[in-house]
Every structure is written in structure tokens, then in C-alpha cells.
Amino acid sequence: MVRLLMILSTKLNLHSAQANITAAFVHAHLKSTKTVYIHQPPGFHHPGNYVLKLKCSLYGMQQSPKYFFNYLSTRLQKQGLRQSDFDPCLFIGKKVIAVTYVDDLLFYACDNNDINQLIAALCADDILIRREGTAEGFLGVDVSGTYATTGRTPTITLTQKGLTSRIIEALGLCTSFTTKLDTPAELTPLPKDSNGKPTSGTFNYAAVVGMLLYLSGHSRPDIAFAVHQCARCTFAPTSLHEQALMRIGRYLKGTIEQGLIMTPSDILTVDCYPDADFAGLYGHEDPQDPHCARSRTGYVINVFGCPVLWRSKLQTEIALSTMEAEYIALSQSCKDFIPIMDLVGELSKALNLSPDKVGHMHVKIHEDNVSALTLAGLEPRHMAPPSKHYAIKYHWFREHVIARKIKLVKIATTDQLGDLFTKGLPHKTFSHLRSLLMG
């Protein structure tokens, strides 16, 4: 969502602002049907056996996030912003668009005064909100770039050098003698290694994985596959998994200056690049464990030629062939792809993106497996008999292909961006796909 709005703001020269709400959860009032009592807090004592009845939610209560979101959304709607039909955290007004992320908000508008007026109105409506500059630095991501008014090609660069440095420091790789690597993952997959050597304990495995997940999900899609391999073993890591984290750290140390460079195209395109690695763990884990036969799904979704969402994950069931694994990946990617299409359409309408500015929306799914491409392109009434066992769960998206005018196109394996998210790649292949994806 945020990356999508950054792309649109760059093309349309929108003003941005981020804001923070102080003591957010305390704003919300408890429902009259919900009664909560607490002990008298330290420093406050009323003689006798008394407890306090809460009127507002507190941090630590299970219901507090929901109560606060309802409180905030109600007040945003009072100011003329309607909640998006496709993302509950997106609020669209005639002049201002707002994105909420717990107690952090991001505003976009053509006129900076409109943002100031909205923030002032929220303050007047009993919300302790303060402006904290523009979108640069939102949620710990450093944003820089050029806009269309500069006369140069508009670009956006997302980096997280501070977080990357903390990861390198946590792994103990700060010395100048650390060997830098060209890829974040080995060519062979990372198994569970149930009987492997225990971890050395030189660093907090779960903490490093958490930082890497945040990094890979915001500005470094090139490490998404490697990080997910390590993350699936967070609760039972071994020395082998520590070595895999160290490899990611060495790769990051050699690429610490890199980030996600997005250069929006002139034409409104929405592209999906799904891929799969068929039973990649088989032969590397215990053959008695059914998880070793699972395939991996990887995909990236681009808008205006810029990546806005990417995934790397094991499939939830066992595919019986390469075609089936690819088809499952294609179907799973559409669960994100179709809502993003709807979201782009909604934002385009809200921002008055007329066809003469960006052209009509061009929607494509790029698949490198001919069999999966053929099966996906068949009309819904023509089902292939061998696909009957997974027809109900994975044929659902085919009715959208014709209705939404989605083009299914063949792409060369060497240019399949989804390949970055399914397996470890040789340096030459990895560098080529990384440059296509990240600029």
C-alpha cells in the first residue's frame, strides 16, 4: 500500500506528511456493554477494598487495538474520508488520502494546506496527533528520489542502512576482515537439520531473523527467499541455520548501500511474476517428513513497472508435478494480484488518473511454464481431467482472467523475476534478476 502510494505521488507530484498519535490506545472509550476493572495503580490509593472501573482502553488489553482503530476511523470519516473497499487501513477523501499503521499515519494531497487542515481538524476532535515531516523515514525506511517536475525521470529509492548495520553488528560481522559474498543463499536449500549441531549462542537467532524479515519486506526483496528459509527454523535452529544467517549478513555487508530503486513507467501496468520450485527440499530433509516434498511459491507484483508486493513461502499441500506446483503458485499469486488491481483502480479514480495521462490499465501475468500457462488459459467449462484433484481450490481465479481482461503471457525463465523467491541462484543469474527487480 505505502509503496503504491509513493509511486503515485512521484508521478503526480503529491505532497506527503507523516504523523504520530500520542498514547493512541488511551483515546478509545470502552463500550457500555463491556465492563473492565483494574487494581489501584502504585501511587494512587483509596482507603478500603476498592478497584477502578475503566472508561478508556489501556495498553495491554486484548481489545485495545480494535477499539482504537474504530475510534480513529470514525473520526477520519467525520472529516469526509471514506474507508477503502479493498484495504481497511486506507481512507480516501476528495483532497487527502490517509494510510493508518496503528498509531502512525501517512497523508498525501495535491496541496500541503489540505493536509495541515485535516491534521488540525483531527486535533480539534480530541486526537493527540502531531506532524513529523514528510513520508521520508516512514516506519524506519529512508525514502529519497526525484519528481516529474525536476525534468528528470522520476525515481524512488528505499533504503534501510541503519537496520542493515544493526543486523551486521548483531551477527558480529563488523570487522574489516569479514568476507563479503555475492549471493544471500546457497544453491542447495536449507533443511530443518533436526539432528544437527546446536547453535553457538553468539547471537540471538530469533532477534536477527525478526530484523531480517522487516528488512526483506520493505526494501530488500533480494534476500526474501534466504530469510524465509531461516525463519521457518526459528523455534529449533541449529549451527547450520546460524551459518545461513551469517551468509545473509556477509551478503548485506557487501551491498549495504543498495536498496530498492523504483522508476515508474509512463503507462499504467500491473504485472505479476509467479514461479515455483517443485519439491526443492526433497533429498535434503528426512524422507519420512511430508514437508520435504512440498514445493515453494515465489512471486512479485509490479505496478507502473515497480515492485509493490513480493512473497516467498512453501506451498500448503504437496504438488504431484512441476506443472501442478507452477499452477498452484499462479493461483496463490492471484490472491494478492486481483485485490491490488482493484486497489489501483480505486486510487486511480480518486486521483483522477485519466486515460490520456497513463493510458488504460494493462494487466498481465508472466508465466514461464507452458503447461501451467495452457491450463490457466482454458475456458472454465473445459477442465483437464488430471487437474480434477485440485480443481476446486485452484481453478477459482480462471473466471477472473476473462472478466478482468488479464493477459497470460509466456516469459523466458531467464527473465522470470519470481525465480528470485523460490531457490538459491548462481551469481550471474541472481545479479541479472536483482537488477531487473531492484534497479
Mean pLDDT of 183-197: 91
Grid cell listed for 409: 503471457
Q: Cβ of 361: how many Cβ atoms within 10 Å?
A: 18
Mean pLDDT of 43-72: 87
User: Do 413 and 276 contact (CB within 8 A), yes or no?
Assistant: no
Q: Identify the pLDDT of residue 149.
A: 54
Query: pLDDT tens digits for 220-231?
Result: 999 999 999 999
Q: Identify the pLDDT of residue 357.
A: 52
Residue 210's H or E segment, with its range, is: helix 205-218
Residue with cell 544493526: 166
Query: pLDDT tens digits for 197-249?
Result: 988 889 999 999 999 999 999 999 999 999 999 999 999 999 999 999 999 99
Supply the DSSP symbol for 84: P
Which range, 175-179, 221-225, 278-282, 352-356, has the best average confidence (pLDDT)?
221-225
Grid cell listed for 414: 531467464
Q: Identify the pLDDT of residue 133.
A: 83
In a 3-state reduction of DSSP, which class is residue 21? Answer: strand
Q: Identify the pLDDT of residue 260.
A: 94
Which is nearest to 203 in space by CA: 253, 160, 241, 255?
241
Residues 348 and 358: their CA atoms lie apart, in Å, by 10
Mean pLDDT of 347-368: 77
User: Do 224 and 181 contact (CB within 8 A), yes or no?
Assistant: no
Contacts of 144 (CB under 8 A, 6+ apart): 136, 156, 157, 159
Residue with cell 457500555: 32
Which is nearest to 119 in space by CA: 67, 70, 81, 86?
81
Residues 354 and 369: their CA atoms lie apart, in Å, by 35
Q: Identify the pLDDT of residue 35.
A: 85
Residues 118 and 390: their CA atoms lie apart, in Å, by 50
Q: Identify the pLDDT of residue 287.
A: 82
Q: Which residues, in sequence order, are bridge partners of residue 367?
A: 410
Rounded to 5 degrees, φ, ψ at 187 are -70, -30
Grid cell listed for 429: 543469474
Residues 353 and 370: their CA atoms lie apart, in Å, by 35
Q: Which residues, in sequence order, are bridge partners of residue 408?
A: 365
Q: Is 194 left (phi over 0), alpha (psi -120 to 50) or beta?
A: alpha
Better pLDDT: 63 or 83: 83
User: Do 127 and 78 contact (CB within 8 A), yes or no?
Assistant: no
Which is nearest to 301 in space by CA: 310, 293, 292?
310
In a 3-state reduction of DSSP, which class is residue 381? Answer: coil
Grid cell listed for 345: 483502480
DSSP character string of 220-255: -GGGHHHHHHHHTTTTS-BHHHHHHHHHHHHHHHHT
Query: pLDDT tens digits for 359-384?
Result: 577 899 999 999 888 888 776 555 56
* Three-point CA angle 311, 316, 322, nearest 5°: 80
Rounded to 5 degrees, φ, ψ at 393 are -80, -30
Better pLDDT: 1 or 272: 272
Query: pLDDT tens digits for 246-268?
Result: 999 999 999 999 999 999 988 88
**CA torsion, ordered 238, 241, 245, 250, to nearest 10 deg:** 110
Question: What proportion of the chain, given as a percentage, has pLDDT over 90?
Answer: 57
Least confidently predicted of 46-60, 204-218, 325-339: 46-60
Q: Identify the pLDDT of residue 354.
A: 62
Q: Identify the pLDDT of residue 151.
A: 57
Q: Average model confidence (pLDDT) for the chain? A: 88
Mean pLDDT of 420-430: 96
Grid cell listed for 420: 528470485
What are the counts of helices (DSSP H) followed by strands (DSSP E) for the chain?
A: 13, 16
Residue with cell 513529523: 132
Q: Cβ of 111: how many Cβ atoms within 10 Å?
A: 12
Q: Is the pLDDT of residue 355 over 70?
A: no
Least confidently predicted of 41-50, 77-86, 306-315, 386-395: 386-395
Query: pLDDT tens digits for 111-150?
Result: 999 999 999 999 999 899 999 888 888 888 888 876 655 5
pTM of model > 0.75: yes
Using alpha carbons, list the distances in angstroms from residue 411 to 75, 369, 373, 379. Answer: 47, 8, 10, 21
Radius of gyration, alpha carbons of the chain: 24
Residue with cell 506446483: 325
Query: pLDDT tens digits for 103-122?
Result: 999 999 999 999 999 999 99
- SS3 percent helix, strand, coil of the chain, rounded to 5, is 40, 20, 40
User: Do 181 and 247 contact (CB within 8 A), yes or no?
Assistant: yes
Mean pLDDT of 411-434: 95
Query: pLDDT tens digits for 380-405?
Result: 555 565 666 666 677 788 888 888 88
